């Protein structure tokens, strides 16, 4: 190998090492930025969730008996929905149907089955009740109505916040979704609910509408049911979508995990594989400038 080839080979190795160090430096600072963003999102979400819960807790205390049974609390909450005072209708243009605070402050949102159910779930949760959102599906698989399951003792009973009613049989016994799948029981129960739409039947019910997920949605439910037959009833999967204050916390965990993994990868390859040192921040800026100027030339 000639002297010129040796020098060229050395320069190529040095240039490659410098580019590697440059990318390592970028990864190092990127991982740090991700960790900072993840921590910030976590504290933001925690503060938002705390403020929302405190507001709903105070709101529910004013309308729900603190020492009542699950049935008494549910009936009190439905009674409040039947006789809600006038509210700030202007909020409907700005409040999201998934905003727990905005929903309970707006009369028009409380007339919609989805947001009325959200309001019931959020206030019931603040009062210590266990609830689950229940979607009634039509023949095409789309949601035609939204109701709520509430745990009364050891039974899940169905309430309809938009109709402000509990489904009961002729003797007054509350009914669950399995019983309401019987057409005769359903007709008897809804006959005591004024103006109830008979199309809102219980042949097909889900807690989570997986079909709305693009691409994989139609295949997720059969796969999960095959692997975990009771996966949907074991966890309240609808809780997270109806509590936007928890979204930043969930995102923060994803960001933090990615940031720590990237930091671990950078440290491993920097100190164990190449023993290369990361650039200082000023040197990184100068190197970035050189690359940009070189490409524009």
Query: What is the domain partition of the chain in residue ranges?
Result: 3-296
Tokens 């105070």 belong to 58
**Which of residues 133 and 1 earns the better pLDDT score?**
133
Q: Where in 163-236 does DSSP place strands (E)?
A: 165-166, 205-206
User: pLDDT tens for residues 74-131?
Assistant: 998 888 888 765 554 444 455 566 666 666 766 666 677 777 888 888 888 888 888 8
**For tokens 């009740």, what's the residue?**
129
Of 106, 131, 126, 128, nearest to 116 by C-alpha is 106
Q: In sequence order, which residues have a C-beta less than 8 Å from that of residue 2 and are 6 or more positions away?
A: none
Residue 144 in contact with residue 120, Cβ under 8 Å?
Answer: no
* Average pLDDT for 44-53: 85
The whole-angstrom separation of Cα 119 and Cα 102 is 9
Highest mean pLDDT among 136-145, 203-212, 229-238: 136-145
The 8-class DSSP code of residue 104 comes to H
Q: What proportion of the chain, given as a percentage, has pLDDT over 90? A: 21
Highest mean pLDDT out of 8-17, 54-63, 207-216: 54-63
Work out the mean pLDDT of the chain and round it to a whole number: 75
What are 166's two structure tokens?
């509990």
Say how far apart CA 66 and CA 123 lie, in whole Å.
Answer: 12
How many whole angstroms separate alpha carbon 237 and alpha carbon 197? 27
Q: pLDDT confidence of 4, banded at 50, 70, 90?
A: very low
Point out which residues pair with 134 in neighbouring strands.
Answer: 147
Q: Coil, helix or strand for 217?
A: helix
pLDDT at position 266:
77
Overall pTM surpassing 0.85 (yes/no): no
CA-to-CA distance for 164 and 148, rounded, in angstroms? 11
Q: How far is CA 113 from the centre of its chain?
A: 19
The 10s digit of each residue's pLDDT in 162-201 is 899 999 999 999 999 999 999 999 999 999 999 999 999 9
């Amino acid at each position: 190998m000639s002297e010129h080839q040796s020098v060229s080979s050395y320069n190529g190795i040095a240039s490659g090492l410098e580019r590697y160090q440059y990318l390592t430096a970028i990864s190092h600072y990127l991982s740090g930025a991700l960790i900072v963003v993840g921590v910030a999102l976590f504290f933001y979400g925690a503060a938002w969730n705390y403020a929302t819960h405190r507001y709903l807790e105070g709101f529910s205390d004013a309308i729900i008996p603190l020492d009542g049974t699950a049935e008494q609390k549910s009936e009190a909450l439905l009674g409040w929905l039947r006789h809600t005072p006038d509210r700030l209708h202007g909020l409907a243009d700005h409040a999201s149907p998934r905003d727990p605070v905005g929903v309970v402050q707006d009369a028009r949102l409380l007339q919609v089955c989805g947001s009325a159910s959200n309001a019931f779930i959020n206030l019931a949760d603040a009062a210590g009740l266990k609830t689950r959102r229940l979607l009634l599906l039509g023949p095409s698989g789309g949601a035609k109505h939204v109701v709520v399951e509430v745990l009364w003792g050891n039974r899940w009973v169905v309430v309809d916040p938009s109709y402000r009613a509990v489904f009961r049989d002729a003797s007054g016994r509350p009914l669950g979704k399995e019983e309401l799948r019987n057409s005769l029981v359903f007709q008897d129960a809804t006959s005591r609910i004024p103006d109830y739409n008979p199309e809102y039947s219980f042949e097909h019910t889900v807690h989570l509408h997986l079909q709305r997920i693009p691409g994989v949605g139609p295949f997720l439910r059969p796969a999960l049911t095959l692997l975990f037959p009771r996966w949907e009833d074991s966890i309240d999967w609808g809780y997270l979508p109806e509590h936007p204050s928890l979204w930043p916390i969930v995102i923060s965990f994803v960001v933090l995990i990615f940031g720590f993994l990237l930091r671990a990868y950078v440290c491993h390859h920097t100190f164990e594989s190449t023993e290369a040192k990361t650039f200082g921040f000023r040197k990184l800026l100068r190197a970035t400038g050189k690359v940009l100027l070189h490409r524009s030339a």
